[in-house]
């Protein structure tokens, strides 16, 4: 019973941030993800200390990740992947290979200074091939120390914003020095995005629609069905995990949830349910607050310099490797930049970079 207030706070705080953002004009700049994360750290290191609070937030972090994965994966259209151009698919493969190469070559550079390098390597590969949901899931699956996870997440947020700023300003000239620039039909070209405004709107101000509006606008029965399938997927994955050794059960649960959710996405009514993805995103916000509240600020700041350097190295090295591999496979500049954006920053940012390139065809 003592944990209930902490659990309710974690569940409702992101909605409170969304209300402030939408209703209080001076606070319209608030990013719910960053605000939830930052306030979690602030409250967890001041007013919400103690074992009961930590246990409640740990439970909420685990539950919210488990709920977010199927709700978001239900909306996948796996069949449409085959419609993507071969070059873009190849670009995605090369981007993933580049991240693995960067992490592997980082062993002699960082492993001695960072004893937790194997965990960091897993987080790096996860976040730069699948974004924050991957990072959150791997933190649970690998049993990564929460303070280490928060240090990686903080570095990724800071460097990710710089990465996008680079991509929508001068990157096309840099990449164009090494890769062929495609000739675009006139009807497919578009004016260049305004760098400052687009960065603000798309990176620092990702909307995360107000959860109340999502629930009102979504078909109640269909969304309830997806929520029920989400719970059943988690229960089934948990049951199957009991067949594995104890130290592999957490990983088995995550893989089971992911597999079942992708399988259910083949059913059109499940895949097309309005609000499913947004509800999954909301649970990512709940996870961000909960994980932040569990963090020891002194340990996060102590770990950050080397972790920040590692994240910067992986970003830059993987970009260089991606360019080199793409030169060997004769990929053009736009394909490489779009596939790199999808891998490093996740697909929602593809439209932003496609606009900066004037190549709207790549959004699909």
Print pLDDT tens along the chain (364 aa): 678 888 999 999 999 988 888 888 888 888 787 788 888 888 888 888 778 888 888 889 888 888 988 988 898 877 766 555 678 789 989 999 999 999 999 999 999 988 889 989 999 998 888 776 677 778 877 888 888 888 888 888 778 777 877 887 889 899 999 999 887 554 444 434 433 333 333 334 455 777 887 788 788 899 999 999 999 999 999 999 898 887 677 778 888 998 999 999 999 999 988 888 888 888 888 888 888 888 776 666 666 788 889 999 999 999 999 999 999 999 999 889 988 988 887 655 665 677 677 665 554 4
In 3D space, the residue among 355, 348, 217, 340 whose CA is nearest the CA of residue 284 turns out to be: 348
pLDDT the model gives residue 201: 35
pLDDT the model gives residue 235: 95
Buried b / exposed e across 101-134, counting CB within 10 Å, b at 16+?
A: bbbeebeeebeeebeebebbbbbbbbbbbebbbb
pLDDT the model gives residue 3: 82
DSSP secondary structure letters along 123-174: HHHHHHHHHHHHHHHHHHHTT--HHHHHHHHHHHHHHHHHHHHHHHHTHHHH
C-alpha dist (Å) from residue 11 to 115, 211, 282, 283, 334 = 34, 11, 9, 8, 40
Domain extent listing, the chain: 4-363
What is residue 79's DSSP assignment?
Answer: G
pLDDT the model gives residue 83: 55
pLDDT the model gives residue 212: 80
pLDDT the model gives residue 203: 36
Dihedral through CA 282, CA 288, CA 289, CA 295, nearest 10?
A: 170
pLDDT the model gives residue 188: 43
pLDDT the model gives residue 150: 82
The answer to whether the Cα torsion of 59, 63, 66, 72 is positive or negative is negative
359 phi/psi in degrees, rounded to 5: -130, 80
The token pair that represents 272 in the structure block: 């097309």
pLDDT the model gives residue 193: 40
pLDDT the model gives residue 253: 86
Q: Global pTM?
A: 0.66
pLDDT the model gives residue 246: 77
What does the alpha-carbon distance between residue 130 and residue 132 come to, in Å, rounded to a whole number? Answer: 7
pLDDT the model gives residue 312: 92
Helix axes 276-293, 146-169, angle to 10 degrees: 130
The token pair that represents 36 in the structure block: 């939830």
């Amino acid at each position: 019973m003592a944990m209930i207030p902490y659990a309710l706070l974690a569940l409702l705080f992101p909605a409170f941030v969304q209300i402030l953002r939408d209703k209080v004009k001076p606070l319209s700049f608030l990013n719910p993800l960053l605000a939830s994360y930052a306030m979690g750290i602030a409250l967890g290191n001041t007013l919400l200390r103690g074992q009961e609070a930590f246990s409640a937030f740990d439970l909420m972090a685990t539950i919210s990740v488990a709920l977010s994965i199927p709700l978001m994966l239900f909306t996948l259209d796996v069949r449409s992947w085959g419609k993507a151009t071969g070059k873009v698919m190849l670009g995605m493969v090369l981007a993933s290979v580049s991240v693995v190469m960067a992490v592997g070559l980082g062993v002699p550079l960082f492993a001695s200074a960072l004893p937790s390098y194997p965990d960091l390597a897993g987080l790096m590969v996860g976040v730069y091939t699948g974004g924050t949901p991957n990072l959150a899931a791997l933190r649970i699956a690998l049993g990564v120390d929460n303070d280490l996870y928060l240090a990686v997440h903080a570095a990724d947020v800071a460097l990710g914003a710089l990465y996008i700023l680079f991509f929508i300003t001068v990157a096309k000239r840099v990449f164009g020095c090494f890769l062929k620039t495609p000739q675009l039909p006139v009807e497919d070209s578009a004016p260049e995005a305004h760098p400052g405004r687009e960065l603000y709107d798309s990176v620092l101000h990702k909307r995360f629609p107000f959860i109340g509006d999502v629930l009102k606008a979504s078909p109640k029965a269909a969304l309830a069905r997806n929520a029920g399938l989400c719970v059943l997927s988690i229960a089934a994955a948990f049951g199957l995990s009991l067949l594995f050794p104890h130290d592999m059960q957490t990983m088995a649960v995550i893989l089971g949830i992911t597999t079942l959710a992708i399988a259910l996405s083949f059913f059109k009514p499940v895949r097309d349910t309005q609000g499913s993805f947004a509800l999954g995103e909301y649970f990512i916000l709940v996870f961000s607050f909960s994980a932040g509240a569990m963090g020891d600020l002194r340990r996060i700041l102590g770990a950050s310099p080397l972790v920040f350097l590692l994240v910067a190295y992986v970003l830059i090295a993987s970009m260089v490797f991606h360019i080199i591999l793409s030169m060997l496979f004769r990929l053009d500049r736009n394909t490489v930049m779009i596939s790199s954006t999808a891998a490093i920053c996740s697909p929602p940012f593809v439209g932003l970079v496609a606009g900066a390139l004037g190549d709207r065809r790549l959004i699909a």
